[in-house]
Amino acid sequence: MDIHSVLLTEEELKIRDEAREFVKSIPPELIKKMDKEEIEFPYEFVQKAGERNLLGLRFPRKWGGREASWRCEVAVIEEVGVLGTALSCQYCLPTIVGEAISKFGTEEQKEKFLKPTLEGKKVCAEALTEPRGGSDFFGCTTVAKKDGDGYLLTGAKRFIVGGKGADYFLVYARTAPEAESHKSISVFIVEQERGVKVETVYGLLGTRGGGTARISFHNLWVPKENLVGEENAGAIIFNQMMLPERLTTAAGAVGMGRTAIEIAARYSIKRKAFGRPIRKFQAVSFKIADSLAKLDAARGLVYTAARVIDAGLPARRIVSEAKKFATEACWEAVNNAMQIMGGIGYTDIYPVERFLRDTRLSMIWTGTNEIMSALIQHEYYQELEEDLKKVRDVEKDAINADLEEEKVYE
Ligand SMILES: Cc1cc2nc3c(=O)[nH]c(=O)nc-3n(C[C@H](O)[C@H](O)[C@H](O)COP(=O)(O)OP(=O)(O)OC[C@H]3O[C@@H](n4cnc5c(N)ncnc54)[C@H](O)[C@@H]3O)c2cc1C
């Protein structure tokens, strides 16, 4: 059964199918060469996605989007997820960086950056993480000092996908060092050609071929036209951007886990041990069942989060839950797929070992899963008292609920 047929409209299903065709058209050679680090950056992938009008689907048509819903976008990203994190990251960056430009940028910025990005003609990257830490984002030490009609940028950013390869970076930098951290960071569009220095291109366990690098800025001049939103409004832009940042990771993870299980299930039909197909052993088939149940639950969370954003409701908790749960479900599914396949699963004869390397990252990037837990509980405690006013007071249903003297808290 195509579960998406009950989750998407006819129009959305068509776009999902277009994405499937696009994914089918990607040559295996590209994936292999990226994994072998024979390709530094997959420009042609981004160009092709742009030519097919598949980038940044939910943005206004004026800038090259299709005004699609988030639901549609997560369905498409699930499809792209089967290519692995290196390519799905490239697919998702325009939707992440685009969120900031589309929601907070000027018309000129949209014309100059968002439009060519969605056309696949300009490659974008996001530069948040610093060598001193990614989780403590608001501890940002990159600074931007006013200088005539612009700013002088100094600092470094680490683990930037497209650090080598991108045409421009969305950079967070401190513009009011003496102010409290949530009111002191601004966002800039920094074009590579202004003098962004590539310091180290990292050797990675997986997710290779995307130019992941440490980049630095040394008194790099950025015109004030490249400031996104208000000065010192970085916190608002960051919070908005983290929705696509994390929901895209979650949706991609569902696709990757799904495809790993498909490979393992097909293998389990053909592979025999003790004279029987291994799928006949519960130890094998139950791993398929457990993985499917978790991946379907993950998809449910991803879609719910998408609908919450589409409805314009606060989405931080549900998006964080989706990111944490889907990446852990994917990790478990890929690990199970490898176990089902035995020794051959550990080799590069099948792509499951690449998925295992890829999926490990999704629990770390776009905010670690520990940070997701921190956000989930924080949001929950904020909502708790308000929510309890609307529902039955179940505490009163205990037989001795009225023994108030037994309810001791300190
Ligand atoms: C391949 C790759 C690509 C990436 N791409 C990009 C990119 O394009 N752009 C970008 O800006 N960043 C990117 N990142 C950075 C990524 O988002 C960070 O690595 C991640 O946010 C964690 O930051 P950190 O590595 O500095 O770890 P740290 O922040 O040093 O965390 C280390 C450990 O401490 C834990 N920890 C820290 N604080 C807390 C807390 N308050 N509560 C509980 N646990 C905590 C973390 O969960 C983690 O386990 C990428 C990373 C990698 C590896």
For the chain, how many residues are written? 410
CA-to-CA distance for 248 and 140, rounded, in angstroms? 24
User: What is the pTM assigned to this prediction?
Assistant: 0.97
CA-to-CA distance for 320 and 305, rounded, in angstroms? 9
CA-to-CA distance for 187 and 198, rounded, in angstroms? 20
Chain centroid, CA 127 distance in Å: 14
CA of 299 to the centre of ligand 1 (A): 24
Q: Is 249 in the pocket of ligand 1 (CB under 6 A)?
A: no
Q: Which of 241, 365, 369 to mutate to test the pocket of ligand 1 (most atoms within 8 A of CB)?
A: 365
The radius of gyration of the chain from alpha carbons, rounded to an integer in Å, stands at 23
CA of 361 to the centre of ligand 1 (A): 10
- The residue nearest atom 23 of ligand 1, judged by CA position, is 134
292: number of Cβ within 10 Å = 17
CA of 98 to the centre of ligand 1 (A): 22
What pLDDT tens digit does each residue of the chain (410 aa) get?
Answer: 788 888 999 999 999 999 999 999 999 999 999 999 999 999 999 999 999 999 999 999 999 999 999 999 999 999 999 999 999 999 999 999 999 999 999 999 999 999 999 999 999 999 999 999 999 999 999 999 999 999 999 999 999 999 999 999 999 999 998 899 899 999 999 999 999 999 999 999 999 999 999 999 999 999 999 999 999 999 999 999 999 999 999 999 999 999 999 999 999 999 999 999 999 999 999 999 999 999 999 999 999 999 999 999 999 999 999 999 999 999 999 999 999 999 999 999 999 999 999 999 999 999 999 999 999 999 999 998 887 788 999 999 999 999 999 999 99
Predicted pLDDT at 350 = 98
Predicted pLDDT at 390 = 87
Both tokens of residue 255?
A: 């696709």
Q: Which atom of ligand 1 is nearest to the CA of 161?
A: 8
Q: Is 124 in the pocket of ligand 1 (CB under 6 A)?
A: no
- The residue nearest atom 7 of ligand 1, judged by CA position, is 160
Helix (H, G, I), strand (E, B) or coil at 267: helix
The secondary element (H helix, E strand) that includes residue 218 is strand 213-223
Predicted pLDDT at 5 = 87
| Range 103-135 burial, b when 16+ CB lie within 10 A, else e | ebbeeebbebbbbbbbbbebbbbbbbbbeeebe
DSSP code of 66?
Answer: -
CA of 246 to the centre of ligand 1 (A): 13
Q: Which atom of ligand 1 is nearest to the CA of 369?
A: 47
Q: Where are the beta strands (DSSP E) in 268-375?
A: 272-273, 276-277
Predicted pLDDT at 246 = 98
Both tokens of residue 83?
A: 């290519």
Q: Which of 126, 159, 363, 371 to mutate to test the pocket of ligand 1 (most atoms within 8 A of CB)?
A: 159
CA of 327 to the centre of ligand 1 (A): 15
Q: Where are the beta strands (DSSP E) in 161-196?
A: 168-174, 185-191
Please, are residues 328 and 249 in contact by the beta-carbon 8 Å criterion? no
CA of 18 to the centre of ligand 1 (A): 34
297: number of Cβ within 10 Å = 14
Both tokens of residue 69?
A: 């819903």
Please, are residues 309 and 319 in contact by the beta-carbon 8 Å criterion? yes
CA of 133 to the centre of ligand 1 (A): 7
Both tokens of residue 240?
A: 């908005």
CA-to-CA distance for 366 and 134, rounded, in angstroms? 9
CA of 137 to the centre of ligand 1 (A): 9
